[in-house]
Structure 1
Amino acid sequence: METSTAGGGGGRAARSAWRTAALWGGAGLATLVLGNLVLRVPLGVGDRIADPAAMLAAASVLTATLLVRRAPLATLVLTLGFGVAVVFLYYSPGVASVPVLAAAGALGRVAVVRSRRAALAAVGATVLVLILVQLARPVEGGPALVLVQGQLPVVVLAWLVGDSVRRSREAAAQAHAAATEQALTDERLRIARELHDMVAHSIGIIAIQAGVGSRVIDTRPDQARDALQAIEATSRDTLSSLRRTLVALRRGGPAPLAPAPGLDGLERLAAATAGDTGLRIDVAVSGRRRPLPQDVELAAYRIVQEALTNTVRHARARHCRVGVAYEDGALALDITDDGRSSPAQEGGSGFGITGMRERAALLGGSLDAGPLPAGGFRVAAVLPLPATAVPAATAPATAPAAEEAR
């Protein structure tokens, strides 16, 4: 949208400059015609210029200058009428070239703002008028020579320029519409991806904790109480995140600020995911740990979150390892478990693997997911780090909750 706004501002400035130039040019041309009237300097064909003829020529220029933007067709008719009047009433073919030039400018404007069919009709009518005038009032050299050498090229050139401007505007409008539609599509995918990761993970934890609580509620009530407390905490966090997201989407403005999840929260994520499920999750970090761009932090967190969710829900694993490697120019993630692979975990029927791949691709990275030869499942992602990116440590500590709607 910003690009569109900036482009729109530049287009408005260019149009304003064009209108200013046209106004001053028209006024200057009218001044020249009126000056010719005062000084009695002959123009074109003939030995003298009648004063009323020059006045009509000046009136045609002023009319074109003042009305061509709002009423180009009316301006075309009026300027042609002035030209015909100059020729038939005062027999000043040379001065009549001035209204013809003004009519050509109006014709170019018609080609810009009207359809090609309407513009071609206007061109045809203009050429017909010029031919009839030349046949009715022939000048030295014959009407054909005057038309071919002077008037027709001006009319055709004006139409060609106007038609080119119209096609350029149409192409720009189509490109803007396509860019807007693509931006809306990207935003929908961003929201769907983030909601899936956030809600699916939370619902998975709730389902697992509910299963644990139902199994031990009679024999180990303390453990069942812990499971219920975990369900309550997860539900509250999820509802709070959803509420912030929905408020931001409904208002269409800035969302309340909320912490953006990142790699610092992986230990808490692992503990919350494992809970009382019996799954042991180890988080191993290698390389020189350093602040990363916020979009990389968020993508890495969501990829790990989705991989752990799939492990808990589908793999029936006992052990899961989350590897985070800070490499030169990239962040490498490696999540493996010792469970059994399932179609859902491999992304055959869900959106989890697809969403993870999209997150990696948006950053120019890659993601591979599939079963291991010796059993278990592996998700490996590489997220490149821009050399000039602003690290998360230098960015604001909080981000809009709508960011979680990506």
Structure 2
Amino acid sequence: MRIDRTRLHDTVLAGIVAAASVAVFALYGPDRLAAGMRPPDAFGVALVLLACAPVAVRRAWPLAAMCAALVPETLLSALGYTTGMLGLSCVVLLYSVASHRGLAMALGALVVTLMTYVLSAVSGPVRVGGWSEHVVVAVVLVAVWGAGRSLRLRRAYLEELKDRAARLERAHAADTRAARAEERSRIARELHDVVAHHVSVMTVQAAAARRVLAADPDLAREALSAIEHTGRMAMTEMRNIVGVLRTDARAELGPQPGVRDLPALVEQMREAGLPTQLLIEGEPRPMPAGVDLATYRLVQEGLTNSLRHAGSDAKAVVTIRYDPRELDVRVEDDGRGVVEVSRRSGHGLVGIRERVALYGGILSIGPLPGGGFEVRARFPLKDGQ
């Protein structure tokens, strides 16, 4: 059976207060009493014990316990007994109300205690003590009440600190989860872009090698060599991406691809069978690394879609235009644009849309009026970029 330690402590405190109060009450024998006051007797001791008993429930019902203790205290004064001091139980209970209840209830308890003391002092059969003693009693009551309020405020402050720490911990955990989700999404986009592009190129080259294998073995060997080269490039890029996730070894990190690598990408697409032209308009200048990578991935995804869906006779044009405050990136082809729109809206273009939105860009994807398909993005650039 589990013991309620709080109730046990309050019960022990009630016993200590009762013993101290009875001892003080008994000290005032006939030789120390003022004229007209009743000496200690069994009935008076019983009233003292009744005044101390509510201390045992001071935390559960502090105000009710204080009111219950004031009744025998008032009877002691009204019948001419003296406790030799302000009732110790009432002091403890006033402190309990101030430290465990709100301000309004605590103020009410203080007022009731002061009024009860004044009533007992003026209505008793014998008036003892002067104004200085009454002032001391009032100061003691206010000081005890203030100590209780201070404890309550400190406890509330500590609870607020704990609650704030818990909220900060939850917010940190939420931020961590969001960061992990964003990182997973970023890695998924990178893996998709790398795998989709290189596998598409390898598939086209493998189909070309199969068609010319018997008629032109030399051309087939060139296609197989291109497949091998593309596969090695895919493995290298995937190794760099997955290496970031490794915790047991240092990843071999290299520079991320960017606009400077577009000529090589265009040449790769030409070798894969998609005639591609790269146009640079305006004065090239450095740009943020994220925009640089997003530009490369957008061109890579756009050319990959053209290679897969535009048709065997299609051509592609990549245009990079540097404006004073904007970078305009376009990938156009003259293939089967309208027919293939639904097939082109895959995960790759969704990832490109996320990349462009991340850097405040505007993305447009769709068929061209005269036929073909276009993927276009405009990235805002600050002055000096």
TM-score by length of 2: 0.64
Are the equivalent residues in 2 in contact too, given 1:314–1:345 (CA < 8 A)?
no
Cα distance, 1:142–1:214 mapped onto 2, change above 3 Å: closer
Are the equivalent residues in 2 in contact too, given 1:270–1:281 (CA < 8 A)?
yes
CA distance in 2, matches of 1:226, 1:244: 27
Partner SS state of residue 251, structure 1: coil
1:264-283 equivalences in 2 (<5 Å):
264-277=260-273, 279-283=274-278
What is the number of residues matched between the two proteins? Answer: 284
Of 126, 132, 137, the match for 2:59: 126
Give the superposition deviation at 1:275.
0.8
Give 2:307's aligned amino acid.
V
Cα distance, 1:255–1:283 mapped onto 2, change above 3 Å: same
Give the superposition deviation at 1:239.
1.4
Identical positions, percent: 35
Structure 2 unpaired stretches of 5+: 22-56, 74-85, 98-108, 111-144
Cα distance, 1:172–1:343 mapped onto 2, change above 3 Å: farther
Deviations 1:71-99 (A, max 9, x none): xx98x8999799768855656xxxxxxxx
Give the superposition deviation at 1:329.
2.4
Cα distance, 1:81–1:199 mapped onto 2, change above 3 Å: same
CA distance in 2, matches of 1:171, 1:217: 67
Give the superposition deviation at 1:154.
4.7
Are the equivalent residues in 1 in contact too, given 2:69–2:89 (CA < 8 A)?
no
Q: Does 1:338 align with 2:271?
A: no
Deviations 1:117-138 (A, max 9, x none): xxxxxxx963546864785585
CA distance in 1, matches of 2:160, 2:219: 76
Give the superposition deviation at 1:334.
1.0
Cα distance, 1:208–1:125 mapped onto 2, change above 3 Å: farther
Deviations 1:251-277 (A, max 9, x none): 276521223111011111011012151
1:81-230 equivalences in 2 (<5 Å):
87-88=17-18, 126=59, 128=61, 132=65, 136=69, 139=86, 143=90, 147=97, 148-149=109-110, 150=145, 153-154=149-150, 156-230=152-226
Deviations 1:173-211 (A, max 9, x none): 222221111111111110110000011000011001111
Are the equivalent residues in 2 in contact too, given 1:311–1:345 (CA < 8 A)?
no
Structure 1 unpaired stretches of 5+: 1-72, 92-123, 390-406
Structure 1 runs of 4+ aligned residues shifted over 4 Å read 76-91, 129-138, 140-147, 151-156, 342-349, 386-389
Q: Does 1:244 align with 2:240?
A: yes
Partner SS state of residue 318, structure 1: coil
Are the equivalent residues in 2 in contact too, given 1:314–1:342 (CA < 8 A)?
no
Cα distance, 1:308–1:87 mapped onto 2, change above 3 Å: same
Partner SS state of residue 275, structure 1: helix
Partner SS state of residue 369, structure 1: strand
Aligned to 2:103: none
CA distance in 2, matches of 1:89, 1:130: 22
Are the equivalent residues in 1 in contact too, given 2:309–2:340 (CA < 8 A)?
yes
Aligned to 1:360: 356
Are the equivalent residues in 1 in contact too, given 2:364–2:376 (CA < 8 A)?
yes
Are the equivalent residues in 1 in contact too, given 2:58–2:65 (CA < 8 A)?
no
Aligned to 2:131: none
Aligned to 1:329: 325
Give the superposition deviation at 1:318.
2.3
Partner SS state of residue 126, structure 1: coil
Give the superposition deviation at 1:241.
2.2
Aligned to 1:373: 369
Give 2:298's aligned amino acid.
I
Give the superposition deviation at 1:152.
6.2
Are the equivalent residues in 1 in contact too, given 2:333–2:373 (CA < 8 A)?
yes
Deviations 1:7-54 (A, max 9, x none): xxxxxxxxxxxxxxxxxxxxxxxxxxxxxxxxxxxxxxxxxxxxxxxx
Q: Which has the larger radius of gyration?
A: 2
CA distance in 1, matches of 2:10, 2:249: 54
Give 2:59's aligned amino acid.
T
Give 2:309's aligned amino acid.
H
Aligned to 1:290: 285
Cα distance, 1:276–1:295 mapped onto 2, change above 3 Å: closer
CA distance in 2, matches of 1:87, 1:340: 96
CA distance in 1, matches of 2:223, 2:210: 9
Give 1:330's aligned amino acid.
E
Are the equivalent residues in 1 in contact too, given 2:197–2:300 (CA < 8 A)?
yes
Cα distance, 1:346–1:301 mapped onto 2, change above 3 Å: farther
RCO higher in structure (CA 8 A, sep ≥6): 1
Give the superposition deviation at 1:142.
10
Tell me which moved more, 131-140 or 373-382.
Answer: 131-140
CA distance in 1, matches of 2:154, 2:60: 12
CA distance in 2, matches of 1:203, 1:191: 18
Aligned to 1:306: 301
Give 1:337's aligned amino acid.
D
CA distance in 1, matches of 2:58, 2:383: 63
